[in-house]
């Protein structure tokens, strides 16, 4: 019996290129023996490579049975590569076109979360084509401080800053708008940071919530920023030491967020646990699967070996569930 060929797409044109390389490497390393991993690298300029050689994407896809999408950020997580794979009728892991596009846009995501009644920080949208000093000054005068500025479509906390002064607000918005056509100015919620993954059709449940993880960032970071996520310096407590009702609320919100965005297979949502309640920050449609990533740690704590999880995702993709 021939083995199933799994094409692992990694790299890509986004600013999360290095993280994607690591996620893909981890997937290739831990695929169960019944699969043959096929490394597919997309360079930053969008060129597809197979065997270290530039290839036509259509030829690459003819050599695989299923795609494991290990891309992050633009192209891989926003619905574009999903649409491309759909056009060739190639099954793939992770969310489809609509859920990916919706999840990548933080403004649209927030609307979907609001429709589910999920608690979120207050926010204001700033658009690149209409932003002005007057608009920013009005926001500064009328919005609580400090506040958080982030691109409306980016991951891994790229371009996210906490600001306390008007010059900082101007600089942060300008930076965020280099990553996205619009930016969010968001209420800064003080509290404990947490994250919670969910997996579809797992352990007898249609949508199974993993253990919440509490994140204690290094003293050099004010929040779980890019460096804190991937430097290995953050302290990650799993299972998190939250009271049972808080833990249940986190898991419920993670499931609701997944469903609100019409996601598929798996996702991970980030939260702030405040005395005022559990606040949903955002949902990651393709969570990192590097050795430093949160989802594999939560799986391991729950007794699931990483190869078994990869097998589960590939099976979901092949059966188109």
Q: With contact defined as beta carbons under 8 Å apart, do 270 and 198 qualify?
A: no
- Alpha-helical regions (H) of the chain: 17-30, 57-61, 80-87, 97-104, 106-115, 133-142, 166-179, 226-230, 244-260, 294-301, 306-318
| Per-residue burial over 15-54, b = 16 or more CB atoms within 10 Å of its CB, e = otherwise | bbbebbbbbbbbbbebbeeebebbbbbbeeeeebebeeee
Q: With contact defined as beta carbons under 8 Å apart, do 257 and 267 qualify?
A: yes
Q: Are residues 314 and 206 in the same domain?
A: yes
132 pLDDT exceeds 70? yes
219 pLDDT exceeds 70? no
> Can you give the CATH number for the domain in which 178 is found?
3.30.1490.20
> Can you give the CATH number for the domain in which 56 is found?
3.40.50.20
Q: Are residues 197 and 256 in the same domain?
A: yes
- Distance CA(147)–CA(172), nearest Å, equals 11
pTM: 0.91
DSSP 3-state assignment of 216?
strand
Q: Are residues 47 and 154 in the same domain?
A: no
Q: Are residues 163 and 284 in the same domain?
A: no
Owning domain of residue 70: 4-93
Over residues 197-216, the mean pLDDT reads 97
CA dihedral 296, 300, 306, 312 (to 10 degrees): -90
Q: With contact defined as beta carbons under 8 Å apart, do 68 and 6 qualify?
A: yes
Q: Are residues 142 and 206 in the same domain?
A: no
Q: Are residues 246 and 108 in the same domain?
A: yes
1 pLDDT exceeds 90? no
In this prediction, what percent of the chain has a pLDDT beyond 90?
A: 86
Q: Are residues 72 and 221 in the same domain?
A: no
Residues 6 or more apart whose CB falls under 8 angstroms from that of 171 comprise 161, 163
Structural domain total, the chain: 3
- Distance CA(306)–CA(249), nearest Å, equals 26
Q: Are residues 276 and 152 in the same domain?
A: no
Q: Are residues 84 and 139 in the same domain?
A: no
| pLDDT tier for residue 231 given thresholds of 50, 70 and 90 | low
């Amino acid at each position: 019996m021939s083995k199933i060929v799994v094409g692992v797409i990694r790299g890509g044109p986004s600013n999360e290129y290095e993280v994607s390389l690591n996620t893909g490497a981890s997937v290739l390393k831990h695929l169960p023996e019944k699969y043959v991993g096929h490394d597919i690298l997309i360079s930053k300029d969008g060129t597809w490579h197979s065997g270290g050689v530039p290839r036509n994407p259509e030829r690459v896809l003819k050599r695989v049975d299923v795609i494991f999408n290990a891309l992050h950020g633009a192209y891989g997580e926003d619905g574009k590569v999903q649409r491309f794979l759909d056009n060739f009728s190639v099954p793939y892991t992770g969310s489809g076109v609509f859920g990916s596009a919706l999840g990548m846009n933080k403004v649209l995501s927030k609307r979907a979360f609001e429709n589910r009644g999920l608690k979120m920080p207050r926010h204001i949208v700033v658009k690149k084509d209409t932003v002005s000093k007057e608009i920013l000054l009005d926001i500064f005068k009328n919005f609580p401080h400090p506040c958080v500025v982030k691109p409306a479509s980016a991951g891994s906390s790229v371009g996210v800053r906490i600001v306390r002064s008007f010059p900082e607000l101007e600089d942060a918005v300008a930076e965020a708008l280099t990553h996205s056509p619009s930016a969010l100015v968001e209420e800064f919620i003080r509290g404990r940071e947490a994250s919670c993954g969910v997996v579809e059709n797992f352990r007898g449940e249609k949508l199974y919530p993993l253990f919440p993880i509490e994140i204690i960032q290094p003293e050099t970071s004010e929040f779980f920023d890019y460096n804190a996520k991937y430097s290995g310096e953050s302290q990650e407590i799993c299972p998190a030491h939250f009271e049972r009702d808080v833990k249940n609320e986190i898991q419920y919100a993670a499931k609701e967020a997944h469903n609100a965005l019409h996601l598929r297979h798996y996702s991970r949502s980030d939260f702030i646990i405040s005395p005022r309640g559990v606040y949903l920050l955002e949902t990651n449609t393709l969570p990192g699967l590097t050795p430093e990533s949160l989802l594999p740690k939560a799986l391991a704590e729950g007794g699931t070996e990483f190869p078994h999880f990869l097998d589960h995702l590939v099976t979901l993709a092949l059966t188109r569930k």
